[in-house]
Amino acid sequence: MPAKAIRPHRIDGRKGVGPLIPPLTESQRPLRQQVFELVRAAGLIPRVQVAKDLDVSPATVTTISSELIEAGLIEEVAAPRDGEPGRGRPAVALGVRAAAHRVAGMKLSDREHTAVIVDFAGNLIADDAIPRQPGPMSLIEILDAIETLLTRVCAKAGIDRSALSAVGIGVPGFVDCAEGVALWSSVLADRSVPLAAAASARLGLPVTIDNDANLVALAELWFGAGRSLSDFAVVTIEHGVGMGFVMNHRIYRGAQRVGMELGHTKVQLDGALCRCGQRGCLEAYIADYALAREATTALNWGHKESQPINVLLESLYDHAKAGNATAKSIFRRAGRYLAVGLSNVVNLFDPSLIILSGERMRYDYLYAAETLDEMDNLTINTGRPRPPIEIHAWGDLLWAHGAAALALSAVTEAILTGQALRTAAE
């Protein structure tokens, strides 16, 4: 939730100056939470190193780590020795107790739903996927799909649903993570759907939801290239175009938690119709349905409209690779629009890294040298190099891992800040 506003104290009529910062901000987490997060990030770490990294006394770390061990959240592990085994007491490091909790993460998409179950240390236990017919679903239909998938992945993990501590769910569209509401999503027939509460009531478990692009950024932050970076952007190109942005090691969502919608920035006034209902969105020129629309029109492929989009796009890609000028121009045009979007990200945020992620990244025309050159031309000239770009053609399981990280965050923050994780059924 966003920090509560505080009012200045008025003494002798003085107004004061400077920012009004709440006593406990996101960057000033309780020390026990900082200790736990450092242990989780390190994997294994000695107490003395924790004290050094957090700039606190060894005695303080000993006290806090004892509390975390007693709570069953971390454990002492014999640390491996370098070289010959020494005499005396073996070295001991701290690590997360993997069996303390298990969570599930899900990605709901236009083509298939995927799920993973991970333990408290983030290790994968099981995964599964179920295909689906494209098109919006009613709330009842999507809850049925969620329950079916969770039952299947729990069976693969050999656990009962009740053994889970929380579930994280990612959906495309405009999602208020704090309120648990999908304001608009391509997978839902209705707007302003209280998906988190509805799924929690159906499953009997705490459920947290978020925009799926945020969850790809979260997956990179927890498991991938973003672990050591304080600021980076992930641009996803799939059935839609999304962006997750990490600022100071945290997902940035905006004041109303629905920001960073790169796919719905406008690149053409009164342009192509986007699935969000507006015109001229970046997504309407780059996403799979945009490429399919261009192909059926420019190549006179009206007879192929009944084909699944992925089949049509594979055919378009094959034609482009074979030298078909029209097919190549379709990808080239999409690449130019992508260059516009990426240059805007650089000009606005100056991230240390941009990651292009998603299944569409198989189509290398989208990020060919010409596209990157165009991006360089559109980026402001400061005399400094632009941020590096990495291509991560992950499948949907990465998105589900991000959803699992969302669930782990909810569980650990609730435990370490003394809050209660509640289900909608309670």
pLDDT in tens, 38-47: 999 999 999 9
Residue 118: strand pairing partners: 103, 124
**CA-based nearest residue to 253, from 353, 178, 171, 167:** 178
Q: Which of 401, 388, 394 is nearest to 357 (CA)?
A: 394
Reference 171, options 202, 132, 203, 204; nearest CA is 132
- pLDDT class of 17 with cuts at 50, 70, 90: confident
The pLDDT of residue 18: 75
- The answer to which of 78-82, 236-240, 356-360, 376-380 has the lowest mean pLDDT is 78-82
Residue 5 confidence (pLDDT): 57
Average pLDDT, integer, range 215-221 = 93
Q: How much is the pLDDT for 81?
A: 62
Could you tell me if residue 169 is left (phi over 0), alpha (psi between -120 and 50 degrees) or otherwise beta?
beta
Class in CATH terms, 101-217+398-416: alpha beta
Q: In this predicted model, what pLDDT tens digit does every residue of 223-274 receive, in sequence order?
A: 988 999 999 999 988 788 999 999 999 999 998 888 999 999 999 999 999 9
pLDDT band at 62 (very low <50, low <70, confident <90, very high): very high
What is the tens place of the pLDDT at every residue in 154-203?
999 999 999 999 999 999 999 999 999 999 999 999 999 999 999 999 99
For the segment 263-299, what is each residue's pLDDT rounded down to a tens digit?
999 999 999 999 899 999 999 999 888 988 888 888 8
Instruction: State in words which class domain 31-81+90-96 has.
Output: mainly alpha
**418 Rama sector, left if φ>0, alpha if ψ -120 to 50, beta otherwise:** left
Output 371 or 341, whichever has higher pLDDT: 341
Given a cut of 70, whether residue 6 has pLDDT beyond it is no
Across the chain, what does the average pLDDT equal?
87
Residue 15: both structure tokens together: 């107004």
How many residues are recorded in the chain?
A: 426
For residues 295 and 306, the answer to whether their CB atoms sit within 8 Å is: no
Q: Distance (Å, rounded) from C-alpha 108 to C-alpha 114?
A: 7
Does residue 72 or residue 300 have the better pLDDT? 72
**Can 101-217+398-416 and 228-393 be said to share one CATH topology?**
yes
pLDDT tens digit string along 296-355? 888 888 767 777 787 888 888 889 889 999 999 998 899 999 999 999 999 999 999 999
**Type of residue found at 250:** R
Which residues in 109-178 belong to E strands, given as ranges?
112-119, 124-131, 166-171, 174-176
**At residue 3, does pLDDT exceed 60?**
no
Of the candidates 366, 184, 332, 205, which has an alpha carbon nearest to the alpha carbon of residue 258?
A: 184
Two structure tokens written together for 177: 């993570």
Could you tell me the pTM of the whole model? Answer: 0.86
User: What are the Cα distances from residue 63, in Å, to 19, 51, 56, 98, 320?
Assistant: 34, 11, 12, 21, 64
Q: Kind and range of the H or E element at 184?
A: strand 181-184
pLDDT given for residue 1 in this prediction: 47
CATH architecture of 228-393: 2-Layer Sandwich (3.30)
C-alpha neighbours within 13 Å on the C-beta side of residue 29: 17
Pick from 281, 264, 288: nearest CA to 360: 288
User: 35-44, 52-61, 102-111, 387-396 — which is least confidently predicted?
Assistant: 387-396
pLDDT of the residue at 129: 93
- H-type alpha helices, 71-194: 139-157
pLDDT digit string, tens, across residues 90-131: 678 999 999 999 999 999 988 889 999 999 999 999 999 999
Q: Percentage of residues in the chain with pLDDT exceeding 90? A: 59
Catalytic site positions: 212
Provide the token pair at 377: 């031309």
Q: Which of 18-27, 56-65, 315-324, 385-394 has the highest mean pLDDT?
A: 56-65
> 416 burial class (0-12, 13-18, 19+ CB within 10 angstroms)?
buried
What confidence category does residue 365 fall into, taking pLDDT thresholds of 50, 70 and 90? low
**pLDDT number for residue 152:** 97
Phi, psi of 200 (to 5 degrees): -65, -40
CA distance linking residue 114 with residue 106, whole number of Å:
6
**Domain range annotation of the chain:** 31-81+90-96, 101-217+398-416, 228-393
Dihedral of CA 263/266/267/268: which sign? positive
SS3 128: strand
